Every structure is written in structure tokens, then in C-alpha cells.
Structure 1
């Protein structure tokens, strides 16, 4: 198993960003729905924006495409539904808030995403403060996020080369790919995924693998893969944390 104690220290990233008019922050969410988990996605090809507003009681999924907003719900069992899991008045408020947050994001998406990416790159280089470039006097926001340190993992010590790639399935699974020489790894030898109920990392070796040829025992490979999976697919990175903090500030819920 990966030892969570053997990890680099956490670090702080502060970023001064321009977050626009923050119109969504003027809407007061119901007390029971004022602390959602937020995620947003921008389709660069179509320009469509998808906003995910998640609570323990259910989720609201919104989309803005060609300046037209749509939404649907997911119940707390994950099933999609046209019916809201909340009361009529609470639903109306949350949908209004989320739609306005999407439009606020749309107005500044290009600049904000560039700044978030640049700030994360600065953090990776060891800097703890990023300030966006602006022209003339403009309202700015100072955001601060704590970035967990990586679990310490050794370089690949087996034979050949390895890589990992996403595969189809539940729990955000990946395959560990291996090659016996210096060529690009293409042979799957193990898989890792997240148990959606326990949120534990599950790993498994694939059948037919000659572990002597791989150069490491089966269990050592699985332990190594668990650390790689945590660092790359479980632990929140600086970019994701900063974008989430920006959305919360824009929505008035930080």
C-alpha cells in the first residue's frame, strides 16, 4: 500500500486575479445549499460551457451553448432526472445562481483560464505568488489555496519503460503500459481505479504477465502504481484548486 505519511509537504499558492463583475455573488443561496462542490468545463471547439454544482442531496448540471442555457438534475443515487431533488423555491434560486455564474465565467473565460494555468506553472517552479497583468485600474481578487504534496514514489526501477493512460470504465480507471525496451509502452500489465464508494484506490495485475521479464515483483508494481495514481488522478493539483477557488469567489460562497 502507498504510505500517505511519505509525502512532500503541502504548499500555498496565492494568486491575484481579475474575476469580472461577480454578478452571481449578489444572489443569496438557501442555507442548506450554500456550500456546493463546483466544477466547470469549456469545450474549446464549440465554446459550450458545462457547470457542475454538487451536493450530498443531488447535483445540478448546467450548460451554456450559443448563449442558450439548459440544465438537468442528478439524484443522490447518481441517476439523471428532470425533477429537482430540492424544493421549488430553492431550485429556482440555485438554477438562477448557477446560470448567472456560467455567464460570468463566459465573459472572462479566456483570460481567467490563461491566468490559472500560468499561476499553476509558477507554483510548479517554486513561486508562491502570481499577479495577473491588467491595463488600467481594475478590481482584483486575492485567492489562496493549499496544494497537497505528492506521495513520494521512486522512478520506475523495472525493466524497459512504462507509461499510463486512461481506459473505459467506472472510477476513473487507468492502465499501466509497459515495453521491454526503449520503445513506447503499449502492453497493459496492471490497472488502477478509484472505488467510488470508499474512495480507496484499487489496483490489479493483468493476467499473462511475466513479472520476471518486467523486472519487479507483481506487488511492488501495484504499490508503485498506487502512488502514481494518487499523485496524478486523486490529489487536486494547483490549477484545479485555483479554478475552483475562483468559481467560489465569483459565486460569493468562499
Structure 2
């Protein structure tokens, strides 16, 4: 088990950003549903945006499509459903608000994402304030976030080189790829995925691997992979933290102080 105490300290960071008109903030979702988790994404190849809004009682996922917005629902546990998990009056409010939020988010893509990535780079360099550039006077927003520190992990100490990539399967699995030489790692030697009960990674070694050739025992490789999975797929990074804060401000979501 990875020692979670071996982490860099959490630090306070501020970013001044152009979040656009924040239309959705004028009609926030019903307060009775609680505070949702928000996840936004942008596909550079298709030019489409997506938004996931997840309340404890249900979820709605939306995507921009030609001519509008497509959406579908999930139950509170994430299971698919062909109908809204909320009463119609509540569901209509959620859909209207989420659609406005996605439209606002999409309008700022990809410029806002580029600003967030630049702000994260400033944070990585040790700065505590980032201010975006604008071509003309416009309303800007100051976001203050706490960026969690990464786990302290060792570099790869085995032979050859490794990389990791997403693979098909439930609970966000990744494969650890290895090569004995200087080429691109292409041999899967281990896997990691998220345990939905504990929200911690579960690792497993691929059968038939010559661990002597890999240069590390299987248990040490799995421990190393666990730390990599935590840093890249569990612990929120600076871009993700800033993106969540931006979506919450754009959507009029206020968390208790």
C-alpha cells in the first residue's frame, strides 16, 4: 500500500480568468439536490465539448453536437437510465441549467483550457498568481483554489523504459507498458484500476512476464504503478482543480467556506 503521507504540501493558488458571460449562474440548479461534482472536457479533434453533472441522487451527461446539445441520465450510483432520476419539475431545472453551463463552457473553448494549462504551469514553477491575457477590456474572475501535492514517487528503476495508457474496461483501467530497449514501450506487464468501494487503485501483474528481464520484482512494480495511478488518475492535478473551480463559478455553484 502506498504511503499517502509522502506527499508534497497542498498550496493556495489564484488565477484571474476570462470565464465568459456565466449565463448559467443566473439560474442555478435546485439547492435541495446539494452541490454537484462537475467535469468538463474538450475534444480537440472534433471541436466538441462535454459536461458531466453528478449529484448524489443522479447524474446528467451532456455533449455538444451539430445544431445543439445531446444528453443522457444516470442514476446516483452511475447506472444508465433512459429517464430522468428526478421529478419532472426538478429534472427540467437541472437540464436547463446544465445546458446553459455547457453552452457557456463550449463558448470559451479552447482558449479557457489553454489558460488553465498555462496557470497550472505557473503553479508548478512555484508562482501563486496567474493572470490571463485579454485583447480588450472584459470582465475577469479571480479563482482561489487549493492544489493538492503529488505523491513523492521514485523514477522507474527497472530495465528498459515504461509508459502507461488507458485500456478498455470498467473503473478506469490503465496498462503499464514496457520495453527492454530504447524503443516505444509496447508490452503490457501490469494493470491498475480504481476500486469503486475504496476509490483507491487495485493493481495486478500480467501473466507470463519475465520479471528478471524487467529488472524489478512484480510486487515492486505494482507498488510503483499504484503511485503513478494515484498521481495521474486519482489525486486532482492543478488543471483539474482549476477547471472544477471555473465550472462552479460559471454555474453559480458556491461551496461553504
TM-score for both structures, normalised by structure 2:
0.92
Query: Which residue of structure 2 aligns with residue 4 of structure 1?
Result: 4
RMSD of Structure 2 on Structure 1 (CA): 1.6
SS of 1:245's partner is helix
Q: Give secondary structure in 1 for the equivalent of 2:13.
A: strand
Aligned equivalents of 2:70 and 2:186: distance in 1?
41
How many angstroms apart in 1 are the aligned matches of 2:19 and 2:72? 26
1:30 CA displacement: 1.2
Deviation at 1:13, TM superposition (A): 2.1
In the alignment, what sits opposite 2:85? 85
On the 8 A contact 1:192/1:204 being kept in 2, the answer is yes
Measured in 2, the distance between the counterparts of 1:61 and 1:181 equals 43
- Alpha carbons of structure 1 residues 214 and 70: separation in structure 2 relative to 1, 3 Å: closer
Q: Is the 8 A contact 2:28 2:251 kept in 1?
A: no
Q: Map Cα deviations across residues 47-80 of structure 1 (whole Å, 9 max, x no partner).
A: 3322111012110112222241232211124332
Question: Deviation above 6 Å: which 4+ runs of structure 1?
Answer: none
State how far apart, in whole Å, the 2-side matches of 1:217 and 1:239 are: 34
Q: Is the 8 A contact 1:34 1:253 kept in 2?
A: no
Question: Which deviations, in whole Å up to 9, do the C-alpha atoms of 1:121-178 show, x marking residues without a partner?
Answer: 2112222211011234321111012111111111111222222222111111111122
Map of 1:114 onto structure 2: 114
Are residues 44 and 182 of structure 1, via their aligned partners in 2, closer, same or farther at CA, if it must alter by over 3 Å? closer
Match of 2:130 in 1: 130
> TM-score, length-normalised on structure 1?
0.93
- Within a 5 Å distance, the mapping from 1:1-254 to structure 2 comes to 1-254=1-254
What displacement does 1:34 show?
4.3
Counterpart contact for 2:27–2:97, Cα < 8 Å: yes
Alignment CA distance shift 1:67-1:105 (3 Å): farther
Shift of 1:28: 3.6
Structure 2 SS opposite 1:142: strand
SS in 2 for 1:109: coil
Aligned length: 254
Contact 1:42 1:50 in 2 (8 A): yes
Give the Cα–Cα distance (whole angstroms) in 1 for the partners of residues 116 and 129 of structure 2. Answer: 12
Cα separation, partners in 2 of 1:210 and 1:63, compared to 1, 3 Å: closer
Q: Which runs of 5+ in 2 are unaligned?
A: none
